[in-house]
């Protein structure tokens, strides 16, 4: 009976492989263990050996074909033996690569991107790199929320807070520094300079890639026709493909009194130019926590009111516990399982009434920051009929239900992060150019820039126990790290969560110094399907904070050197 060769499964998450080259043809002899073909996955190229000695009876797929794992690709046996598929005399020629995009003809552009945030401008640049005549429409500043009202300005302010906090502790390092004060006007001015410089950088990148940029409010009249309202009038342009990247806006829940002066969102908080004496934050998510740390460090009395049983419910509980304890030690007051009823104006402040442990309480603040998430922004695409209440449904190619229309970023993703939007922008642009790119949200890092920092990738320890039952967990505290001790920041730990059977890394969770940088090693490890042993045996430089990941892997294997 002929021996069947299946497309091998080379990793836990591998779903398909591409046949790169056949080294034997139908009718030729092959020995068991001899290289029969080369395959390519999304991670590696690998040579596949013949499973038996005999004649190649059938090659079931040509070079260039993409085959699901565990599907038959060849048969080896003796001449005349029957196989499960009709033999081919020779592999077919590899399918032709996508033809270079034709020059725009009946339309003004081959691709138009609506929105210039971290998803939109990246999509426009990638589309242009793929040879498409591309235009980008942005009503405000290039870079979108992330660059102008989110990621970058908050991190600039947080860095100033970190420096201020460090200088106040200078005595611990043997440095004399007295009467340390902050100049909030200068702090906010620095933030503005950083944002302005990066916006200019994006403008230069778009120009270098020959992307036409329209500054105005775009509206999709049809999938192929757009209207742009600019200062000097209304302009219409046409396109073959459309990528929607309109992002999101702060979500304001229907709280009575939320329209009082002094009630702000993150947008207004970044433009305060000063630190309020007291601040009540409604919502204990990422944005709320970052502002809590920053404002408290600069001297504000901060109270967080969170409706859920704990802050950051999506993060590993042990990590969250460390962060909560640290913020409370710094002076931040946190109430969870607390429901806000209303916001009232008093003679000197704003009063937030909330229910906590069966009783009514009031928290007062000079400002109230409402940080309860973000809502998809449908402005300009309402007429296309493709959006639902929370966003636009898309497939793994970022395609909507309308042919030639793609959606990326906060408008189309349940994970509202800038790096997700950028990854999706590349996928959408490549598919608009005729390529076959796919987006997956299986390995997405999350970061919180408080002090201590928090970052993770993969699933939590609780999720792993529920899904896999048998798991291994290794934890290494920064108090055992020589570099952390020298750095003067030993709070927190690294936790590695693995499947006990295969040693597959399921999650990496970090709370402590530079967690948002260290997590990238966990991202790469999961992307390459590295095992616990591979992470633990990889030689890390000493002394570094990154050693904590290696040490955590050692602990998970029961081989802890510097911690048990």
Cα angle: 429, vertex 430, 435; to 5 degrees: 150
Distance between CA atoms of residues 330 and 520, nearest Å: 28
318 within domain boundaries: yes
Q: Is 162 annotated as a binding residue?
A: no
Q: Which of 222, 239, 237 is nearest to 382 (CA)?
A: 222
Residues 202 and 342 in one domain: no
Break the chain down into helix, strand, coil percent, rounded to 5.
30, 30, 45
CATH, residue 63: 2.40.50.100
Would you state the pLDDT for residue 43?
57
Q: Is 490 annotated as a binding residue?
A: no
Residues 385 and 366 in one domain: no
Q: Which of 432, 438, 376, 380 is nearest to 404 (CA)?
A: 432
Residues 290 and 380 in one domain: no
Q: Are 113 and 243 in contact (CB under 8 A)?
A: yes
Would you state the pLDDT for residue 13?
62
**For the residues of 325-349, what is the DSSP string, one character each?**
HHHHHHT-EEE-S-EEEEEEE-SSS
Query: What is the token pair recorded at 420?
Result: 């997700």
Q: 514 catalytic, yes or no?
A: no
Would you state the pLDDT for residue 16?
86
Would you state the pLDDT for residue 84?
63
Q: 350: domain range?
A: 263-371
Residues 212 and 270 in one domain: no
Would you state the pLDDT for residue 47?
83
> Beta-carbon neighbour count of residue 249 at 10 Å?
16
280 within domain boundaries: yes
| 86 backbone dihedrals φ, ψ, rounded to 5° | -60, 130
Q: Is 248 annotated as a binding residue?
A: yes
Q: Are 433 and 133 in contact (CB under 8 A)?
A: no
Q: Is 116 annotated as a binding residue?
A: no
Last residue of one domain, picked from the residues 402, 432, 462: 432
**HSE of 150, CA atoms in CB hemisphere, 13 A:** 23
Q: Is 382 annotated as a binding residue?
A: no
Distance between CA atoms of residues 498 and 558, nearest Å: 13
Q: Catalytic: which of 514, 537, 542, 562?
A: 542
326 within domain boundaries: yes
Q: Which residues contact 218 (CB under 8 A, 6 or more apart)?
A: 114, 115, 137, 139, 226, 227, 228, 380
Q: Is 289 annotated as a binding residue?
A: yes
Q: Is 284 annotated as a binding residue?
A: yes
**Ranges of the chain with pLDDT below 50:** 85-104
Give the chain's domain count: 4
CATH, residue 486: 3.30.390.30
CATH, residue 218: 3.50.50.60
Name the pairing type of β-strands 16-22 and 35-40.
antiparallel
Residues 348 and 408 in one domain: no
Q: Is 36 annotated as a binding residue?
A: no
Q: Is 286 annotated as a binding residue?
A: yes
Residues 51 and 129 in one domain: no
Q: Which of 63, 40, 202 is nearest to 123 (CA)?
A: 202
pLDDT in tens, 316-335: 999 999 999 999 999 999 99
Q: Which residues contact 408 (CB under 8 A, 6 or more apart)?
A: 119, 120, 123, 243, 244, 245, 394, 398, 421, 424, 425, 427, 428
Residues 464 and 489 in one domain: yes
Q: Is 306 annotated as a binding residue?
A: yes
Residues 367 and 398 in one domain: no
Handedness of CA 204, 210, 216, 221 (dihedral sign): negative
440 within domain boundaries: no
Last residue of one domain, picked from the residues 34, 62, 77: 77
Task: Tell me which long-range contacts 65-68 makes (C-beta under 8 A, separation of at least 24).
Answer: 65/18, 65/19, 65/95, 66/16, 66/17, 66/18, 67/7, 67/16, 67/17, 67/18, 67/19, 68/7, 68/15, 68/16
Residues 390 and 364 in one domain: no
- For residue 422, give the 3-state DSSP assignment: helix
438 within domain boundaries: no
DSSP secondary structure code for residue 70 in this structure = T
Q: Is 410 annotated as a binding residue?
A: yes
Residues 14 and 70 in one domain: yes
Query: What is the token pair recorded at 144?
Result: 């979108």
- For residue 47, give the 3-state DSSP assignment: strand
Would you state the pLDDT for residue 12?
54
Distance between CA atoms of residues 149 and 192, nearest Å: 10
| 550 backbone dihedrals φ, ψ, rounded to 5° | -60, -45
Query: What is the token pair recorded at 302?
Result: 């901060």
pTM: 0.80
Last residue of one domain, picked from the residues 348, 371, 394: 371
Residues 69 and 131 in one domain: no
Residues 35 and 127 in one domain: no
């Amino acid at each position: 009976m002929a021996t069947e060769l299946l497309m091998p499964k080379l990793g836990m998450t591998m779903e398909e492989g591409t046949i790169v080259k056949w080294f034997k043809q139908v009718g030729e002899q092959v020995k068991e263990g001899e290289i029969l073909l080369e395959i390519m996955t999304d991670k590696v190229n690998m040579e596949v050996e013949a499973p038996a000695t005999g004649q190649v009876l059938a090659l079931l797929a040509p070079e260039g074909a993409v085959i699901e794992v565990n599907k038959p690709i060849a048969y080896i046996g003796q001449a005349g033996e029957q196989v499960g598929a009709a033999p081919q005399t020779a592999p077919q020629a590899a399918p032709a690569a996508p033809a270079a995009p034709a020059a725009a003809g009946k339309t003004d552009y081959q691709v138009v991107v609506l929105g210039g945030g971290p998803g939109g401008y990246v999509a426009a640049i990638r589309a242009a790199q793929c040879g498409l005549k591309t235009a980008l429409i942005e009503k405000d500043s290039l870079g979108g929320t992330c660059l102008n009202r989110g990621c970058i300005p908050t991190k600039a302010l947080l860095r100033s807070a970190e420096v201020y906090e460090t200088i106040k502790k200078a005595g611990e390092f043997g440095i004399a520094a007295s009467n340390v004060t902050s100049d909030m006007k200068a702090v906010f001015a620095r933030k503005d300079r950083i944002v302005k410089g990066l916006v200019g950088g994006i403008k230069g990148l778009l120009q270098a890639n020959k992307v036409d940029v329209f500054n105005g409010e775009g509206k999709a009249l049809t999938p192929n026709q757009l209207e742009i309202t600019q200062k000097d009038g209304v302009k219409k342009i046409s396109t073959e493909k459309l990528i929607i990247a309109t992002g999101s806006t702060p979500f304001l829940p229907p709280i009575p009194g939320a329209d009082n002066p002094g009630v702000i969102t993150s947008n207004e908080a970044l433009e305060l130019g000063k630190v309020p004496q007291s601040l009540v934050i409604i919502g204990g998510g990422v944005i709320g926590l970052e502002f809590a740390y920053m404002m408290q460090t600069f001297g504000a009395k901060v109270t967080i009111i969170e409706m859920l049983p704990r802050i950051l419910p999506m993060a590993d509980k042990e990590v969250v516990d460390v962060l909560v304890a640290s913020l409370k030690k710094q002076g931040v007051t946190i109430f969870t399982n607390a429901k806000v009823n209303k916001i009232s104006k008093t003679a000197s402040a704003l009063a937030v009434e909330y229910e906590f442990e069966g009783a009514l309480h009031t928290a007062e603040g000079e400002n109230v920051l409402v940080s309860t998430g973000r809502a998809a922004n449908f402005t300009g695409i309402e007429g296309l009929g493709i959006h639902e209440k929370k966003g636009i449904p898309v497939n793994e190619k970022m395609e909507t239900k309308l042919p030639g229309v793609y959606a990326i970023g906060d408008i189309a993703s349940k994970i509202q992060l800038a790096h997700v939007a950028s990854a999706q922008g590349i996928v959408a642009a490549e598919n608009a150019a005729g390529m076959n790119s796919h987006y997956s949200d299986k390995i997405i890092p999350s970061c919180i820039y408080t002090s201590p920092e928090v970052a993770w990738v993969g699933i939590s320890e609780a999720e792993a126990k529920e899904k896999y039952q048998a798991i291994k967990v290794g934890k290494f505290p920064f108090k055992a790290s020589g570099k952390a001790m020298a750095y003067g920041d030993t709070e927190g730990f690294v936790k590695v969560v693995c499947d006990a059977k295969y040693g597959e890394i399921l999650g990496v969770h970090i709370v402590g110094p530079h967690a948002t940088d260290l997590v990238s090693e966990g991202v790469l490890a999961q992307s390459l399907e590295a095992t616990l042993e591979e992470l633990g045996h990889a030689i890390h430089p000493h002394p570094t904070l990154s050693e904590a990941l290696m040490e955590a892997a050692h602990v998970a294997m029961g081989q802890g050197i510097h911690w048990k």
